[in-house]
Chain A
Amino acid sequence: MSQLRTEDTTFHHGAPQTGTKPIIEMQNIEKHFGNIIALAGVSFDVRPGECHCLLGDNGAGKSTFIKTMSGVHKPTRGAITIDGKPMDFDSPRDAMEAGIATVFQDLAMIPLMSVTRNFFMGREPLKGSRPFRRMDIERMNDTTVEEMRKMGINLRGPDQAVGTLSGGERQTVAIARAVYFGARVLILDEPTSALGVRQTSNVLATIDRVRKQGVGVVFISHNVRHALAVGDRFTVLNRGKTLGTANRGEITPEELQDLMAGGQEMAQLEGSLGGTV
């Protein structure tokens, strides 16, 4: 990797956490589907308080890899350790209990329901005793407003329907929910892919906030700019393999772009397009 420095951006406030031990470590993960080798030896780790970007073009194996990390798929080969202990996820629920939360692209949000009801969906706090056990609505409302305020979103009210929020705000609700329910590692699957400029910067700011709380963030993207704006480390995935991990400041956007595209072709293409890609 080259030693060229990247310029610092507004979103990068955290110091690289080189000293700390990783929360989750994935070593030489392989995943085969029948005769298709989706992952052919991927190594990846996440430390507390860092944003580790996983970059790759379509079909590079990003989705398969995060699904392995979040317990949806079981790796064919390779080891997953959490806090140094070997782990074996049988279901997404196992991963969630170990503190690995994933915000998928569909966000698991229901537009017709209020922010509060979405926030606590499936994990409603209760009060009272049977048979009059019920949801603790006041606590749910207060918590939602408070958690959203921490993320920089002022709700009209806790009963505001999620459908009235913008794409970036919905993403933030999903992130806030995962963090509130104890995520130590937060996997974000292309959180900025469908967003406008302003909403993207809101989501990147949210990632920064979450990182400062000591959560390890895995940011999946194929947009180099978004990744560089917030990432501490960058791992590029190409054709099911990791092409290495670079620290912030050790790599230029052009190099990342080239790595994602698999090297030479992109450089040539870029030349013919006059550097616009």
Chain B
Amino acid sequence: MADTAQSIQDERLKKEGLGPRLMKRPELGAIAGVILVTAFFLVTADSTMFTLSGIMNFMTPAAQLGILAIGAAMLMIGGEFDLSIGSMVAFAGLIFGACVVTLGLPLILAIPLTLAVAAGLGALNGMIVLKTGLPSFIVTLAFLFVLRGASLVGLKLASGGSTQLRGVRDAVEGDWLAPMFSGDAFGPIFAWLAQIGLIDTFKSGAPKVPGIPVEILWFIGLALVATYVLLRTPQGNWIFASGGDRNAASNSGVPVRKVKISLFMVTALCGALVAIITVMDAGSTDARRGFMKEFEAIIAAVIGGCLLTGGYGSAIGAFFGAIIFGMVTIGLTYTNFDQDWFQIFLGAMLLIAVLFNNYIRKRVTGER
């Protein structure tokens, strides 16, 4: 098969160089961004930023955002938005907190229950969008407020008047599932590395970095799974197709409705996962959890190459988009700059990313 393909090269086609081919990858912008930001902080920031503990420092918030961003990216490729993921983090946090603290359930019940509630709400979002044909922007904007309000009301009910529910840490202490969702992984390996002097230690001999925070592992794992699904499975093809052109996809036999509802559920599940991890980490849940995260997740997805119109993007791009976020938020504390530059950076980065993506789309589709 390969030799027939070669013998029929069209003489009018110039061989495409590596550069133009790379240009067509959606995640290129985000990778370039990571390189740029790294270079910036290598010059301006204190050198401790790029030690092992410094890296863990900025990777942890990057991972928490990134889990949301990967969900948001897949949904955007499928042609929809979810503005309620930030509120979903707060609401799922409430459900989870109420399960373990108020009801005293073990994690093996509390976690599936939280995930099921989130998935149900995601499916509800999706069904309303598909049934009514309204833009998902407006439907999920409604849910942004509904879920945030429900979190406040629910927290007051569960905690007897306060907007914070404490005592999660005591409740999950000793639960065999807890290490999956909180703390650091690979502790013994890091201890051993410290022992043989490969990583920095405190004076006591304990390693400065006790392990890899679990959310980073979830983040990496999720990015790999999402990329595999998008690029190598029929479902991935259906996601691109549903976002690219709904009618064309359904005329070709793609189950567009199922695909979109599943994507809303996946996004909500990502929100719930972040809720479980951060609530267990903090030991309490409050109504402000996940505030504004919906926008940050969408921005990370856009920086990662997702088109606002759907049908194009990548999970790896969102992965790097989230890392840029983490690096800048935390990185500014290592420099002499005022931390509030962060917001300015955010807006500028978004604008540049959108312009860049637009340009790339024109290249890909050959629009002139």
Q: Binary interface profile of A, 119-159, with partner B (CB < 8 Å = 1, else 0)?
A: 01111101000000111010000100110010000101000
Minimum Cβ distance to chain B for residue A105 (Å) = 12
Minimum Cβ distance to chain A for residue B361 (Å) = 7
When the two chains form the complex, which single residue of B1, B16, B232, B251 contacts A134, counting CB atoms closer than 8 Å? B232
**Assembly CA distance A149 to B312 (angstroms):** 27
Chain A interface: which of B4-12, B49-57, B111-119, B331-339? B4-12
For residue A246, CB closer than 8 A to chain B, the reply is no
Q: Which residues from chain A contact B232 at a C-beta distance below 8 Å?
A: 134-135, 137
For residue A161, CB closer than 8 A to chain B, the reply is yes
Which residues of A line the B interface, CB within 8 A?
A: 92-93, 104, 106-113, 117, 120-124, 126, 133-135, 137, 142, 145-146, 149, 154, 156, 161, 163-165
- Also in contact, A110 and B234, with CB within 8 A (given A121-B249, A149-B8): no
Listed A/B pairs (7) with beta-carbon separation below 8 Å: A107-B248, A117-B240, A117-B241, A122-B241, A142-B2, A149-B4, A149-B8
Q: Which residues from chain B contact A156 at a C-beta distance below 8 Å?
A: 10, 13, 16
B residues 210-251 in Cβ contact with A at 8 Å: 228, 232-234, 236-238, 240-241, 244-245, 247-249, 251
CB closest residue in chain A, given B228 = A134
Q: Which residues from chain B contact A142 at a C-beta distance below 8 Å?
A: 1-2, 5
For residue B252, CB closer than 8 A to chain A, the reply is yes
Contact between chains at A126 and B245 (CB < 8 Å): no
**Majority SS at the chain A contact face:** loop
Contact between chains at B237 and A146 (CB < 8 Å): no
When the two chains form the complex, which single residue of B233, B241, B247, B364 contacts A163, counting CB atoms closer than 8 Å? B364
Q: Which residues from chain A contact B240 at a C-beta distance below 8 Å?
A: 110, 112-113, 117
**Assembly CA distance A272 to B127 (angstroms):** 59
Which residues of B line the A interface, CB within 8 A?
A: 1-2, 4-5, 8-10, 13, 16, 24, 228, 232-234, 236-238, 240-241, 244-245, 247-249, 251-254, 307, 311-312, 361, 364-367
**Assembly CA distance A113 to B364 (angstroms):** 9
CB closest residue in chain A, given B256 = A122
CB closest residue in chain B, given A156 = B13
Contact between chains at A111 and B365 (CB < 8 Å): yes
Contact between chains at B233 and A111 (CB < 8 Å): no
**Assembly CA distance A112 to B251 (angstroms):** 17
**Assembly CA distance A70 to B318 (angstroms):** 42
Contact between chains at A124 and B253 (CB < 8 Å): no
**Assembly CA distance A142 to B24 (angstroms):** 21
CB closest residue in chain A, given B232 = A134
CB closest residue in chain B, given A143 = B1
Contact between chains at B1 and A164 (CB < 8 Å): no
Minimum Cβ distance to chain A for residue B340 (Å) = 38
CB closest residue in chain A, given B245 = A110
CB closest residue in chain B, given A140 = B237
Q: Which 5 A-B pairs have the closest CB atoms?
A: A163-B365, A122-B253, A164-B366, A110-B244, A124-B234
Q: Contacts A120-B237, A121-B241 given; 15 further ones with Cβ under 8 A? A: A104-B251, A107-B248, A110-B311, A111-B244, A112-B307, A117-B237, A122-B241, A122-B253, A123-B252, A142-B5, A146-B5, A156-B13, A163-B366, A164-B365, A165-B366
CB closest residue in chain A, given B248 = A108
Looking at A109, A111, A154, the one whose CB has the most chain B CB atoms below 10 A away is: A111
Q: Which residues from chain A contact B365 at a C-beta distance below 8 Å?
A: 111-112, 161, 163-164
When the two chains form the complex, which single residue of B4, B24, B244 contacts A113, counting CB atoms closer than 8 Å? B244
Q: Which residues from chain B contact A112 at a C-beta distance below 8 Å?
A: 240, 244, 307, 311-312, 361, 364-365
**Assembly CA distance A107 to B366 (angstroms):** 18
Q: Which residues from chain A contact B236 at a C-beta distance below 8 Å?
A: 135
**Assembly CA distance A149 to B253 (angstroms):** 25
Q: Which residues from chain A contact B13 at a C-beta distance below 8 Å?
A: 154, 156
Minimum Cβ distance to chain A for residue B285 (Å) = 33
